């Protein structure tokens, strides 16, 4: 019997430019695919991607779509502009159709590791 699970991940970029956004978004997705067995034992149903307000030069969702890493509907949104929030941050939430023994394996890279120190 399968179950629907959610997997979270985040990364940061060093500067707002297309190359950095593409590189870090693809790196994050590769780590999430590997950690959660996506395509092997689980199927990705959808992906929500959010960015902080200081990311303006390229869409992380477009980077994922064009990478060919994953074939799932993508939805982009902006994080609220909160004082003191982690800057230059890309967050993702994947909805997976997995199996009963599968547990969500969240991935936080680069500066985003500060968001989930419990996962180190």
Hey, CA dihedral for 62, 110, 20, 87, is it positive or negative? Answer: positive
The mean pLDDT value for 46-66 works out to: 97
Superfamily of domain 2-119 in the CATH hierarchy: RutC-like (3.30.1330.40)
Q: Does residue 7 have a pLDDT over 80? A: yes
Q: Cα(25)–Cα(59) distance, rounded to whole angstroms?
A: 10
The number of angstroms, rounded, from the C-alpha of 63 to the middle of its chain's C-alpha atoms is 11
Q: In what order do the strands lie in the sheet containing 2-12?
A: 74-78, 43-51, 89-99, 2-12, 107-108
Per the CB < 8 A criterion, the answer to whether 16 and 114 are in contact is no
pTM (two decimals): 0.93
The mean pLDDT value for 12-41 works out to: 95
| Amino acid 30: pLDDT | 97
| Amino acid 99: pLDDT | 60
């Amino acid at each position: 019997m399968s179950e629907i699970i959610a997997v979270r991940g985040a990364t940061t970029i060093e500067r707002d430019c297309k190359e950095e956004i593409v590189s870090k978004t693809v790196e994050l997705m590769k780590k999430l695919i590997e950690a959660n067995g996506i395509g092997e034992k689980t199927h990705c149903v959808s992906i929500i991607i959010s960015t902080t307000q200081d990311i303006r030069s390229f869409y992380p969702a477009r980077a994922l779509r064009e990478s060919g890493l994953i074939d799932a509907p993508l939805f982009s949104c902006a994080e609220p502009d909160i004082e003191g929030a982690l800057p230059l941050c890309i967050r993702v939430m994947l909805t997976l159709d997995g199996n009963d023994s599968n547990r969500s394996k969240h991935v936080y890279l680069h500066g985003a590791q500060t968001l989930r120190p419990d996962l180190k």
